[in-house]
């Protein structure tokens, strides 16, 4: 599976697709980038005169690149329209702000993938190679039989 195919299989579209490029991916992790365009709607009110990327959006970028892209790669051709990936837990420590037009790099390392659950250690760095945030993110692969409760 190519890096472009992984991105095309993500269950997101603009303006909620936060993956520009996958740099590297293998069975143990993924590395990818995203640039925060200054025209994104959330910058209009967060904060009025000094826009900063909300932590929930930073977490989403980390989840999309570090968890979902890796999950798509690990599942390869078994991923179909009847399967979705749901976030189950996050524990993120925020260290630096991210401003409009900044490019970030997300690096994920698989902790485990078993019983339909993927857990990763994920970090985000800026172009100055400063740690922006880091933590763990987990998600579950949901099939029609698993999601019926």
Dump strand ranges (E) for 5-102: 21-26, 29-35, 84-94
Give a yes or no: residue 29 inside a domain: yes
Rounded CA separation 131/39 (Å): 24
Give a yes or no: residue 149 inside a domain: no
Q: Is 50 a catalytic residue?
A: no
Give the residue numbers spanning the domain of 44: 3-142
* Count of domains for the chain: 1
Residue 146 pLDDT class (50, 70, 90 cuts): very low
Give a yes or no: residue 99 inside a domain: yes
Lowest model confidence (mean pLDDT) among 33-37, 57-61, 139-143: 139-143
Mean of the per-residue pLDDT values of the chain: 91
CATH code: domain of residue 31 = 3.10.129.10
**Looking at residue 64, what is its pLDDT?**
97
Give the predicted TM-score (pTM) of the model. 0.92
Which of the pair, 77 or 123, is modelled with greater confidence? Answer: 123
* Catalytic residue from among 46, 96, 117, 121: 46
């Amino acid at each position: 599976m190519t890096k472009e195919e992984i991105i095309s299989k993500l269950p997101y579209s603009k303006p909620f697709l936060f993956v520009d490029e996958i740099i590297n991916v293998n069975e143990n992790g993924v590395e990818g980038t995203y640039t925060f365009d200054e025209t994104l709607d959330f910058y209009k009110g967060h904060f009025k005169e000094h826009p900063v990327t909300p932590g929930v959006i930073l977490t989403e970028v980390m989840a999309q690149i570090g968890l979902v892209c890796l999950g798509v790669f690990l599942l390869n051709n078994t991923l179909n329209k009847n399967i979705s990936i749901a976030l189950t837990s996050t524990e993120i420590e925020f260290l630096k702000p991210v401003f409009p037009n900044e490019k970030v790099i997300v690096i994920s390392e698989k902790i485990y993938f078993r019983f339909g659950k993927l857990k990763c250690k994920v970090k985000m760095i800026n172009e100055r190679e400063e740690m922006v945030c880091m933590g763990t993110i987990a998600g579950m692969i949901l099939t029609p039989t698993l999601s019926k409760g």
